[in-house]
Chain A
Amino acid sequence: MLKVEGLNVYYGAIHALHDVSFEVKKGEIVTLIGANGAGKTTILHTVSGLVRAKSGKVSFLDKDITTTEAHNILKMGLAHVPEGRRVFSQMSVQENLMMGAYARKDKAGIAEDMEMVYTRFPRLRERYRQMAGTLSGGEQQMLATGRALMSRPSLLMMDEPSMGLSPILVSEVFEIIKAINASGTTVLLVEQNAAMALSIATRAYVLETGRITKEGSADALMHDDDVRRAYLG
Chain B
Amino acid sequence: MVKRKGLSSLINFIGILVLFLVMRSAAANSVSMNTLFIQIGYSIIMAASLNLACGYLGELPLGHAGFMSVGAYTAAVLTTKFLPQTSAVYPLALVCGGLMAAFFAFLIGVPALRLKGDYLAIVTLGFGEIIRVLINTVFSPLTDGGKGLFGIPTYATFTDTFIVTVLCVAALYMIVRSRHGRATIAIRENDIAAESSGVNVANYKIRMFVISAFFAGIAGGIYAHQLGVLTAAKFDFNRSIDYLVMVVFGGMGSLTGSIFAGSALTIVQYLMASLVEYRQLAYALLLIVMMIFRPKGIFGRWEFSLTRLLARFIPALRGEPKNIDRLNAEAVRPDIPVYEVPADTPVLRTSHLGIRFGGLQAADNVELSLSEGEIVGLIGPNGAGKTTVFNMLTGVYQPTDGDIRFLGRSIVGMKPCEIAAVGITRTFQNIRLFKSMTVLENIEVAFQTRMHDNLADALLRTKRFRRAERGARQRALEILSVFGMQDMADQRADSLPYGMQRRLEICRALAAGPKVLLLDEPAAGMNPTETHELMETIRVIRDRFGVTILLIEHDMKLVMGICERIYVLNYGSVIAEGTPDEIRNNPEVITAYLGKNNPVNEGVGGATC
Contacts and interface: CB of A to CB of B under 8 A. Distances in A.
Interface of A: 35-37, 134, 136-138, 160, 162-171, 192-196, 199, 229-233
27 contacts: A35-B498, A35-B525, A35-B530, A36-B498, A36-B525, A36-B527, A37-B525, A134-B360, A136-B382, A136-B383, A165-B381, A165-B609, A166-B594, A166-B595, A167-B594, A167-B599, A167-B607, A168-B590, A168-B594, A192-B609, A195-B599, A230-B528, A231-B527, A232-B528, A233-B528, A233-B532, A233-B606
A136 B593 CA distance: 13
B525 A171 contact: no
Given A232-B606, A233-B532, A168 B382 contact: no
A165 B382 contact: yes
A141 to B, nearest CB: 9
Contacts, number: 94
B438 interface: no
B597 interface: yes
A49 B131 CA distance: 50
Given A37-B497, A162-B609, A164-B382, 19 more contacts: A37-B498, A136-B382, A137-B381, A164-B554, A165-B609, A166-B554, A167-B593, A167-B599, A168-B594, A168-B595, A169-B381, A169-B595, A170-B607, A194-B608, A196-B605, A230-B528, A230-B529, A231-B527, A233-B527
A36 B595 CA distance: 26
A37 B530 CA distance: 13
B597 A166 contact: no
Output the residue of A36, A160, A167, A199 with the most chain B CB within 10 A: A167
Contacts of A196: 605, 607
Interface of B: 360, 380-383, 497-498, 524-532, 554, 556-557, 590-595, 597-600, 605-609
Max chain B C-beta neighbours (<10 A), residue from A137, A162, A195: A195
A231 B382 contact: no
Contacts of B529: 229-230, 233
A99 B472 CA distance: 53
Contacts of A192: 525, 608-609
Given A36-B525, A37-B498, A195 B606 contact: yes
Residue among A36, A164, A166, A199 facing the most chain B CB atoms (10 A cut-off): A166
The CB with the most chain B CB atoms within 10 A, among A36, A136, A162, A231, is that of A36
A168 B592 contact: yes
Contacts of A230: 527-529
B406 to A, nearest CB: 29
B605 A138 contact: no
Contacts of A134: 360
A48 to B, nearest CB: 21
B595 A171 contact: yes
B605 A35 contact: no
Instruction: Among B380, B497, B590, B609, find the residue whose CB has the most chain A CB atoms closer than 10 A.
Output: B609
A233 B598 contact: no
Given A136-B383, A138-B381, A233-B532, A195 B595 contact: no
B459 to A, nearest CB: 37
Contact of A138 (B382, B527, B532, B609): B382
A209 B524 CA distance: 17
Q: Give me the 7 closest cross-chain CB pairs, A-B, nearest first.
A: A233-B528, A137-B382, A36-B525, A168-B595, A195-B605, A166-B381, A164-B382
Contacts of B605: 195-196, 199, 232
Chain A interface, >50% SS class: helix
B338 to A, nearest CB: 38
Contacts of B606: 193, 195, 232-233
Contacts of B591: 168
A167 B597 CA distance: 9
A233 B557 contact: yes
Nearest to B498: A37
Contact of B593 (A163, A164, A166): A166
Contacts of B598: 167-168
A62 to B, nearest CB: 35
Contacts of A195: 599, 605-608
Given A35-B527, A167-B600, A168-B594, A137 B383 contact: yes
B607 to A, nearest CB: 5
Nearest to A172: B595
A108 B589 CA distance: 44
A86 to B, nearest CB: 14
A136 B606 CA distance: 23
B380 A166 contact: yes
Contacts of A165: 381-382, 609
Contacts of B380: 166
Given A165-B382, A166-B593, A193 B607 contact: yes
A185 to B, nearest CB: 23
A233 B530 contact: no
A160 B557 CA distance: 19
Contacts of B532: 233
Contacts of A167: 556, 593-595, 598-600, 607
A122 B209 CA distance: 55
A156 B526 CA distance: 26
B336 to A, nearest CB: 33
A169 B525 CA distance: 19
Contacts of B360: 134
Contacts of A232: 528, 605-606
B609 A164 contact: yes
B501 to A, nearest CB: 10
Contacts of B556: 167
A165 B594 CA distance: 10
A168 B608 CA distance: 12
A35 B593 CA distance: 25
A230 B591 CA distance: 30
B528 A168 contact: no
A231 B530 CA distance: 10
Contacts of B530: 35
B531 A233 contact: yes
Contacts of B600: 167
A167 B530 CA distance: 20
Contacts of A162: 609
A137 B569 CA distance: 14
A144 to B, nearest CB: 13
Nearest to B606: A233
A231 B527 CA distance: 6
A35 B554 CA distance: 16
Contacts of A199: 605
A229 B529 CA distance: 8
Contacts of A194: 608
Contacts of B592: 166, 168
Contacts of A160: 609
B368 to A, nearest CB: 20
A171 B597 contact: yes
Q: Which of B497, B530, B607 has the most CB of A within 10 A?
A: B607
Contacts of B609: 160, 162-165, 170, 192-193
A214 to B, nearest CB: 14
Most buried by A among B527, B554, B590: B527
B594 to A, nearest CB: 5
Contacts of B527: 35-36, 230-231, 233
Nearest to B596: A168
A233 to B, nearest CB: 3
Contact of A168 (B497, B526, B593): B593
